[in-house]
Amino acid sequence: MSQTLNSPSLAAPKRLVIASRESRLAMWQAEHVRDCLKKLYPDCDVQILGMTTRGDQILDKALSKVGGKGLFVKELETALEDGRADLAVHSLKDVPMVMPEGFDLACVMAREDARDAFVSNDYASLEDLPKGAIVGTSSLRRESVLRAKLPHLEIHPLRGNLDTRMGKLDRGEYQAIILAAAGLKRLGLESRIRAYLPYDPYTPAAGQGALGIETLSKHPNIKQWLAPLNDLPTLFAVSAERMVSRQLGGSCEVPLAAHAVWDQSQMQIRSFVASVDGKAICIANGNARVESIEDAEALGFAVAQDLLAQGAADLIPKISK
C-alpha cells in the first residue's frame, strides 16, 4: 500500500540528485531509490552523490562516545543545504529522532526484515557459543540483552561498514557477530545468517530495516514526488517506534528498543530500555487501532509513558553521562 501524489497536476521532475554514504550497503540503498524513481519518472535524470561521513571515518571508538548515529547523516544534510543534492537516503535507524530545523523525513519505504541476525562461521546459534566466546556488536541495545541472557559470553565492540565487520569475523577476531538482517539480505548475504534472533527478547532498534528519505522543508515538491514510495504499514510502524525513542531521548547512548507491526488497522508494539550490563530493564507493550500517523505516535507516546512509569528515566542518565 503506497501513498499517491498529493497534487496529480505536479509536473514530473527533470533531474534529482541523491546523497548517499559510499559504503556498499548505502550505495545499494541509494541505487534502489534511484531505480524506484526511474520507474515513476522515466524521463528524469537521477544521479547519486557518494559521500564519506564522520561516522564512516571514526572506527576506533564506539558511536556512543563520538556523537551517535547523527554522524552518518550530517554531511549528507550539508549537501542538501548547499544544493548539491535534492534528497538523502538513510537507514532509518541512523536518522536522529528529532529532525533538524529545515529538514523533513519526507518518505519511508517498505521495510525489509527488521530482526537481528546471528552470524558465525563455527556455531549455529548464540546458545551454542562456549564460555568466553567473543561476540561483536556495535549496539548497546544488543549488548544489554546479551549480557542479561548469556553472561558467560564476551561482548566486544564492532565498528565499520558491513563488509568490514564480516571481514573481522572471517579473520577470527570474533566467534560470532550480531548484525541487522536487512543489510545482509539487501547485499545478497542471507546465506551467512545462521539464525534470526526473536523479537522477544532481541527487540530491534526504532526504524531498523526501513529506508528513510530526507529532504529540505522548503522543497515540498520533492516530498510530493517521493510520496508514491511511502509504504503506509512501515510509515505507521516507525512513527510509533520513533515516538517512543524521542520521548526517552533515544540515541546510541541508550540501550533502547522499539518495534511495531501494523496490519489491518491494528498495531502492536514492544519496547524496552535497559542498563548496558543487562541487570535492569523496563519493558512495555502496546496494542491499538491505528489509522493515521497521529494515532501511531499516540500509541508510541503511551508506551514511552509506561516505560517512564516503570523507572526508565533512572536508567537513561546513568548511561548518558
Q: Which residues are catalytic?
A: 94
Give CA separation, 244 vs 91, 238, 270, 299, 306, in Å. 18, 10, 10, 9, 10
Distance CA 15, CA 12 (A): 9
Give CA separation, 305 vs 110, 203, 236, 301, 312, in Å. 28, 18, 19, 6, 9
HSE-up of residue 53 (Cα within 13 Å, Cβ side): 29
Task: Please list the alpha-helical segments (H only) found in 191-311.
Answer: 220-226, 232-247, 293-309
Distance CA 261, CA 155 (A): 30
Distance CA 320, CA 147 (A): 19
Which DSSP helix (H) or strand (E) runs through 39?
A: helix 24-40
Distance CA 248, CA 147 (A): 22
Which DSSP letter does residue 174 get? Answer: -
The grid cell for 282 is: 523496563
Q: Which parts of the chain are beta strand (E)?
A: 15-21, 45-51, 87-91, 103-108, 116-119, 134-137, 154-157, 176-180, 193-196, 211-216, 256-263, 266-274, 281-289
CA geometry: angle 12, 13, 18, nearest 5 deg: 140
Distance CA 93, CA 156 (A): 21
